[in-house]
Amino acid sequence: MIALTAAIFALAGSMVLAALRLRTETDIRYGRSYLHVTPAFRLYVFLHGFVALLPFPLQLFWAKETSTLISTSPWVVAVATPLFVNKLVRLQGLDLSQATGLFNRFRINVSTWIHEVLIDWENSAMHRFIEPFAKDMGVEEARILMSLHLPIHLSSEKEAAVRAALLDARTVERTMEIYIRMIGKHSFVALFGERLKEKKLAPTPLFDGPPPDDFERRRQAREKSPDPILLVARN
């Protein structure tokens, strides 16, 4: 029972450390890399937890004299394993001394593939999040609005970096993404949420005419139908 409890603790600890590392990983120029909890994000975190469980089955197969630490003190393993796994496994590869041969190439290929999958899911989630805010808004309007509403607690260096990144953006979606990654989702929603709400609640003009195609269809129908005035005159 103690070993099972320690294993669950190691699983949870390793997953928490992996999630924190992903959420705090930042790009030097564009801010945090992972803001959305995507399926790829969850799978990556789960695999970290699974790896932390691997030492515990050893006590079932190894003799006690060769696995004394695991048999007598599973809590030591439960604390040490998540730290070791998160130190060993990195998003860009294993944090080991340079390996050679096939293992090193395999390590690079796998870590690169994992990184690409995580970024792909993240970018897709970011696009879906930004899309309703970016509709009917120009890049210059968004850039000016965000530049005027930067948090007051930013240091002068961070503020200059944010302004420079916003100026480099060429689309409204990219501008909003930079603001979210460098400032945060809550600040972004607080800034643009009311504008989005106003757009959704905007009244429809009362005397809007029918669409051109509908108008043309009605005109042709009137030409084909007999004139009621002529029918009355004939009768």
User: Tens digits of per-residue pLDDT, 102-147?
Assistant: 666 776 777 788 889 999 999 999 999 999 898 888 899 999 999 9
The verdict on pTM exceeding 0.85 is: no
Q: Supply the pLDDT for residue 106.
A: 72
Closest to 176 in 3D by CA, of 140, 200, 201, 152:
140
Placement of tokens 């989630």 in the chain: 125
Whether 88 is in a domain gets the answer yes
- Do 80 and 21 belong together in one domain? yes
Please state, rounded to an integer, the average pLDDT across all residues of the chain.
75
Closest to 172 in 3D by CA, of 130, 146, 133, 134:
134
Whether 206 is in a domain gets the answer no
Cα 4 off chain centre by: 34
Whether 25 is in a domain gets the answer yes
Length of the chain: 235
- Do 139 and 96 belong together in one domain? no
Whether 23 is in a domain gets the answer yes
Structural domain for 149, as ranges: 135-201
- Do 95 and 24 belong together in one domain? yes
Whether 80 is in a domain gets the answer yes
Placement of tokens 């969850």 in the chain: 42
Structurally, the chain folds into a number of domains equal to: 2
Handedness of CA 129, 135, 141, 145 (dihedral sign): negative
